[in-house]
Amino acid sequence: MKTAFKLSLLLASTLLAAPAQAQSTPEEVAEAALKAAPVWDGHNDVPWQLRGRRANVLDGFDFHDTHAEPAGDEGETSAMHTDLPRLRTGMVGAQFWSVYVPASMPEPEAVQATMEQIDVTERLIAQYPDDLALALTADDVAAAMDEGKIASLMGMEGGHSIGSSLAVLRQMYAMGARYMTLTHSATLSWADSATDTPEHDGLTDFGMDVVREMNRIGMLVDLSHVSEATMMDALDVAKAPVMFSHSGARAVNGHARNVPDSVLARLPENGGIVMIVGLPGYLSEAMRQRSAARAAEEAKLKSLYSGQPDRVDALLAAWDLEFPPVEATVSDMADHVDHVREVAGVDYIGIGGDYDGMPSGPVGMEDVAGYPALFVELARRGYTQDELEKIASGNMMRVMRGAEAYAASVADQPPIESPVG
């Protein structure tokens, strides 16, 4: 009896001495973290969906339920990834809405289209004042979160949106854009893209001035989509924290859109952030390899059986049966978080889903309602509540405040001038 009594006392004292979190389940740790620090997501393409599906006409659009939105010009229905109830379920407290337009547009057209995307985003925010609040500063984000609203910021996706003009860059900031991805899928006259033929070995002199001017006015420099050389040049020039609005770790998945370790290692010095993307092809290396193998098989079959599309289709279908599709999961996304923590540290991680800019998120996170599943998985891997709060929104808040602080420190500096024409 004495031995049993001593064991009971030992167990009780151990439980009392253990931190409260150690007695919590991963679900409880994740829930507590997201209640304290809701997700600040780096990239969502709802504005582009509004352009493609509705030509930016909001009449008849119901952001309370987007499951049955018409999909483009074909008239069929295809659920969007985002609406207000699912944002609430996903514990999203702040959102960078992407005012993306295609890099294939001639630059003057891209400038106009970007302004139209800013306009439709602002009109959408204004239409739902009980749920959304336009945010232009970190203080605006904090205030919206305190009020239980989703802070709504805007980011440009690609330098084609400024038409190679620092004047247009400044005017886009004045209209509310708070980050710009230096390139999208195409190399520009002043910056190399990750997924196009490089022309400059990074940034040109004008490209470096773009980074300097963005720092001066307080616009965040987004390095998703750019080449490794462009990343390095931007980090050489930047005086404020940079961001990767929706990227993964290249050591986990070798896609050029992901961030190499050479760049991750420089993040602590700069103070920037990698907001982990949810696009399956950037998460699962097995999926990426299978996709490349299928593309190679299809090209081979088309070459072998030219003019015989039925035979090509039949043989490709047989290949698909032999090598079935690979799915990305929440665990794959967590692997990217783990790697960035290992190389850069937990203070340099955020979340940038890319919802409504891809066919689907990973299994278990198919739409914006799925963010808690990622945080449960991270808690299961041993992340503390404090670390989860940093990943959810604390790190992005620090980055934005850092950019604002630098801009305030150089407020007496004149704009960088560049000749037009």
Give the span between the Cα atoms of 49 and 44, in whole angstroms.
10
* 28 Cβ contact list (under 8 Å, min separation 6): none
At residue 175, what are phi and psi to the nearest 5 degrees? Answer: -85, -5
Contact 181, 211 (CB under 8 A): no
Contact 351, 276 (CB under 8 A): yes
At residue 94, what are phi and psi to the nearest 5 degrees? Answer: -150, 140
Give the span between the Cα atoms of 47 and 38, in whole angstroms.
22
Q: Using CA of residue 366, residue 367, residue 368, residue 372, what is the dihedral sign?
A: negative
Tokens 């022309």, residue located = 199
* 410 Cβ contact list (under 8 Å, min separation 6): 215, 216
Tokens 């760049």, residue located = 263
Give the span between the Cα atoms of 193 and 196, in whole angstroms.
5
Burial class (CB in 10 A: 0-12, 13-18, 19+), 76: exposed
Give me 101's structure tokens: 């337009």
Q: Is 178 helix (H, G, I), strand (E, B) or coil?
A: strand
Give the span between the Cα atoms of 328 and 349, in whole angstroms.
20
Q: Is 133 helix (H, G, I), strand (E, B) or coil?
A: strand
- β-partners of residue 152 are 95, 134
Contact 343, 300 (CB under 8 A): no
- Catalytic positions are 43, 45, 157, 184, 225, 246, 354
At residue 131, what are phi and psi to the nearest 5 degrees? Answer: -120, -30
Give the span between the Cα atoms of 247 and 276, in whole angstroms.
5
Give the span between the Cα atoms of 345 and 332, in whole angstroms.
18
Query: Any idea how long the chain is?
Result: 421
